[in-house]
Chains A and B, each alone.
Chain A
Amino acid sequence: MSDLNLLFHGFAVVLTPFNIGLMFLGIVLGVIIGVLPGLGAANGIAILLPLTFTMPPTSAIIMLSCIYWGALFGGAIASILFNIPGEPWSVATTFDGYPLAQKGRAGEALTASFTSSFIGAFVAVLLITFLAPLIARFALQFGPPEFFSVYLLTFCSFVGMGKGSAWKIIVSMMLGFALSAVGIDIVTGQLRLTFGFPSLMKGFDFLIAVIGLFGIGEILLSMEEGLAFHGVPAKINPKVVLETWKKLPHYWLTSLRSCLIGCWMGITPGGATPASFMSYGVAKRMSKDGDKFGKGQIEGVVAPETAAHAAGTAALLPMLALGIPGSPTAAVLLGGLLIWGLQPGPLLFVEQKDFVWGLIASMYLGNLAGLVIVLTCVPLFAAILRVPFSIIAPVIVVICAIGAYTVHNAMLDIWLMMIFGVVGYMFKKLDYPLAPLVLALVLGDRAEDSFRQAMLIAQGDMRIFFSNALVGTITGLGLIMLFWPVVSRGLAKVRGA
């Protein structure tokens, strides 16, 4: 009950003219970022983060999280009208969204996609409202061993649930940890892994890595396609919206299923992209009209969009409750918390009530505002994609360079960004996942701290990670996740034989 009071208090925090203004600004910027290929939510937020250093943290997180919601909405616009996914999580939306648009039903597809995005997000926010405080309260009893085991579980989940080579996931993750270790060791004060370069003393900033890997890397990939956009005109009017809304309740089962998939994939670090594919696949298998999928089914738009938005939103749950982000974008927001001087983790719910509940309240309002904005302004946003890529590409590079420079006011960071960009391009082409790298880079110091503290308590005895039921269960789950690729292959062999 007291949680509801706190939520209302949160609404009071959000409903100041300044915060509402930031919310709308965030949504509009977010949709633009979502529409443009090469500028995604993670690097968009990373670029804008330095501009919020001087803002009150609550206002800053409201603006940045609204960019995230906007980007989740915006990805669908490019997918449906141009057959180009503006964001990786809207790839599955192109399968049925673009055929619908070609048939002249773009308005329907857009309405269905925005509405189901909203529903997915809404369910995930409800989940956060009621579950996050409980988890945080529970996690208050956590000590260093428990925290390290949660980190272990998070990172092992990448291996267990990721597609592709488990070795590559491990390499990418460990590279993130190694880069986070570069610089001064805060415990002993020794310099680590700097190889005599004084400029490496500060270490690698994850914001630079995010801007390079996702921003520059994405531009290079987009260029490979030699982009030329051929779009379908965006027509949307109140009549179409109302008619589509009448049809949508038929797909309640698909929606519900997609919400569940999305929330699950968001909390475990699966992320929005696999959630949208999984949800599309499941909907195709379960639907009566499954064979018509891919030719322009509304249901084929509802499923991935609901799941992507639910997953993207639910990724903030572990970030708020435990200080462990569920997606790269959530990781950037977590980095923001550290920069604004807040200590992420379960204590946030005790010490920073205004911040936490203001953020949760802004999720409700932000998504509602987002729905209204995208429904009314689609043609405007679609017009952005008609600007030729030879103008957009250099402008995005300039924005990335400015963003990288403002993090520390260091010229070296712009060079590092370029290097990360080339690495991002190579890694993407060779299927090395980038999300584990970014998450490890953000969480590296904290994971190492909790490991060291646990080791100090136990005097170097690894058995501390199995010393009680709670920590033992989490560590055990983590190890199962880590060895899941081996286990599942074994199971398949046993069944096949």
Chain B
Amino acid sequence: MAKHDSTSQDDGRSIVSMRTMEIAIAAILLAFGATFLYSSYRLGFRWADDGPQSGFFPFYVSLFICVASGATLLQAILSKSAAGPATFVERGQLKQVLKVLIPAGLFVLGIQLIGIYVASAIYIALFMNLLGDYPWKKSVPLAVAISVLFFFMFEVWFQVPLFKGYWNLTGWTGF
């Protein structure tokens, strides 16, 4: 995980090369394929009296995953200079992506704990404030307004109840 000491001349530096990433992803996919292959092997991939067994189709599907990701892996290992950009992600880009990804992950955790509406309001306000440099007096009212709008849209108009979290903070509304 990248540290957030922002020295901007560092931002163009490559964090990880395309080739490393190609190899890593192909290896993960190969592992996936192998796990699936083993699992369908255990289910039985042969021919029973009443037709193909449950693992028949998944077995060949995972066999294909193994072969194709194996080939991609080999290609990536053998290629010295891959065509296209050599950098998978630059430092500055990774920072930008993590700035969205980590709050989004926290937001989902927030949904789990305090429900979708309160978490959304906090998330939007913080995002505007920290990443968009908006003052609190602009971000908070807007975020609350959006959340209230969603609340009316789903709970009242569409009558689709959304997740209220373990600690239901919107219980007082009666929905």
Q: Tell me the A residues contacting B by CB distance below 8 Å.
A: 50-51, 165, 167-168, 170-171, 174-175, 177-178, 181, 185, 187-188, 190, 192-193, 195, 216, 219-220, 223-224, 226, 388-391, 393-395, 397-398, 401-402, 405-406, 409, 411, 414-415, 418, 421-422, 425-427, 429-432, 448, 451-452, 455-456, 460
Q: Which listed residue (A193, A415, A429) contacts B88, Cβ 8 A?
A: A429
Known: A185-B54, A452-B52; 17 extra A-B contacts, CB below 8 A, are A171-B29, A174-B68, A187-B51, A187-B54, A190-B54, A192-B54, A192-B55, A192-B58, A220-B100, A224-B89, A224-B93, A226-B96, A390-B132, A394-B128, A425-B97, A451-B57, A452-B51
Expressed in whole angstroms, the Cα–Cα distance for A165 and B29 within the complex equals 15
Residue of B nearest to A193 (CB): B39
A-B contact pairs, 27 of them (CB 8 A): A51-B158, A167-B68, A170-B68, A174-B68, A177-B58, A185-B54, A187-B51, A188-B54, A193-B36, A193-B58, A390-B128, A398-B116, A401-B120, A402-B154, A405-B162, A406-B160, A406-B162, A414-B108, A414-B111, A415-B108, A418-B105, A422-B101, A426-B25, A430-B18, A430-B21, A451-B57, A452-B51
> What residues of chain B lie closer than 8 Å to A188, measured between beta carbons?
53-54
Expressed in whole angstroms, the Cα–Cα distance for A421 and B102 within the complex equals 12
The 3 A-B pairs with the shortest beta carbon distances in the complex, nearest first, are A390-B132, A394-B127, A170-B68
Q: Which listed residue (A223, A391, A411, A425) contacts B99, Cβ 8 A?
A: A223
A391–B101 contact, CB under 8 A? Answer: no
Shortest CB-to-CB span from B90 to chain A, Å, is: 9
Q: Tell me the B residues contacting A by CB distance below 8 Å.
A: 18, 21-22, 25, 29, 32-33, 35-36, 39-40, 43, 47, 51-58, 61-62, 64-65, 68-69, 71-72, 75, 84, 88-89, 92-93, 96-97, 99-101, 103-105, 107-108, 111-112, 116, 120, 123-124, 127-128, 131-134, 142, 146, 150, 154, 158, 160-163
> What residues of chain B lie closer than 8 Å to A51, measured between beta carbons?
158, 160
B104–A190 contact, CB under 8 A? Answer: no
> What residues of chain B lie closer than 8 Å to A418, measured between beta carbons?
104-105, 108
> What residues of chain B lie closer than 8 Å to A422, measured between beta carbons?
101
B132–A216 contact, CB under 8 A? Answer: no
> What residues of chain A lie closer than 8 Å to B96, measured between beta carbons?
223-224, 226
B65–A391 contact, CB under 8 A? Answer: no
A411–B40 contact, CB under 8 A? Answer: no
> What residues of chain A lie closer than 8 Å to B162, measured between beta carbons?
402, 405-406
Residue of B nearest to A51 (CB): B158
Residue of B nearest to A173 (CB): B64
Q: Which listed residue (A165, A178, A391, A395) contacts B61, Cβ 8 A?
A: A178
Expressed in whole angstroms, the Cα–Cα distance for A254 and B4 within the complex equals 52
Most buried by B among A165, A394, A418, A455: A394
Expressed in whole angstroms, the Cα–Cα distance for A174 and B65 within the complex equals 6
Shortest CB-to-CB span from B154 to chain A, Å, is: 7
B127–A178 contact, CB under 8 A? Answer: no
A170–B64 contact, CB under 8 A? Answer: yes
Expressed in whole angstroms, the Cα–Cα distance for A475 and B89 within the complex equals 42
Expressed in whole angstroms, the Cα–Cα distance for A411 and B166 within the complex equals 11
B150–A398 contact, CB under 8 A? Answer: yes
> What residues of chain B lie closer than 8 Å to A168, measured between beta carbons?
68, 72
Expressed in whole angstroms, the Cα–Cα distance for A147 and B56 within the complex equals 19
Judged by DSSP, the binding face of B is helix
B65–A175 contact, CB under 8 A? Answer: yes
Judged by DSSP, the binding face of A is helix
A393–B36 contact, CB under 8 A? Answer: no
> What residues of chain A lie closer than 8 Å to B154, measured between beta carbons?
402, 406
Expressed in whole angstroms, the Cα–Cα distance for A178 and B75 within the complex equals 23
Expressed in whole angstroms, the Cα–Cα distance for A455 and B84 within the complex equals 44
Shortest CB-to-CB span from B14 to chain A, Å, is: 13
> What residues of chain A lie closer than 8 Å to B127, measured between beta carbons?
390, 393-394
Shortest CB-to-CB span from A190 to chain B, Å, is: 4
> What residues of chain A lie closer than 8 Å to B75, measured between beta carbons?
165, 167
> What residues of chain B lie closer than 8 Å to A389, measured between beta carbons?
132
B120–A398 contact, CB under 8 A? Answer: yes
Expressed in whole angstroms, the Cα–Cα distance for A132 and B89 within the complex equals 45
Residue of A nearest to B134 (CB): A390
Most buried by A among B40, B92, B104, B108: B104
Shortest CB-to-CB span from B161 to chain A, Å, is: 8
B72–A398 contact, CB under 8 A? Answer: no
Shortest CB-to-CB span from A117 to chain B, Å, is: 30
A175–B32 contact, CB under 8 A? Answer: yes
Expressed in whole angstroms, the Cα–Cα distance for A421 and B104 within the complex equals 11
> What residues of chain A lie closer than 8 Å to B57, measured between beta carbons?
177, 181, 448, 451-452
Contact A220/B124 with A171-B65, A429-B89, A452-B52 known, Cβ cut-off 8 Å: no
> What residues of chain B lie closer than 8 Å to A185, measured between beta carbons?
54
Expressed in whole angstroms, the Cα–Cα distance for A425 and B43 within the complex equals 33
> What residues of chain A lie closer than 8 Å to B35, measured between beta carbons?
195
Shortest CB-to-CB span from B99 to chain A, Å, is: 7
Shortest CB-to-CB span from A439 to chain B, Å, is: 14
Shortest CB-to-CB span from A75 to chain B, Å, is: 23
> What residues of chain A lie closer than 8 Å to B101, measured between beta carbons?
220, 422
Expressed in whole angstroms, the Cα–Cα distance for A453 and B133 within the complex equals 60
Contact A50/B128 with A224-B97, A429-B89, A456-B51 known, Cβ cut-off 8 Å: no
> What residues of chain A lie closer than 8 Å to B92, measured between beta carbons?
226
Shortest CB-to-CB span from A19 to chain B, Å, is: 18
Expressed in whole angstroms, the Cα–Cα distance for A429 and B92 within the complex equals 16
A411–B51 contact, CB under 8 A? Answer: no
B124–A398 contact, CB under 8 A? Answer: yes
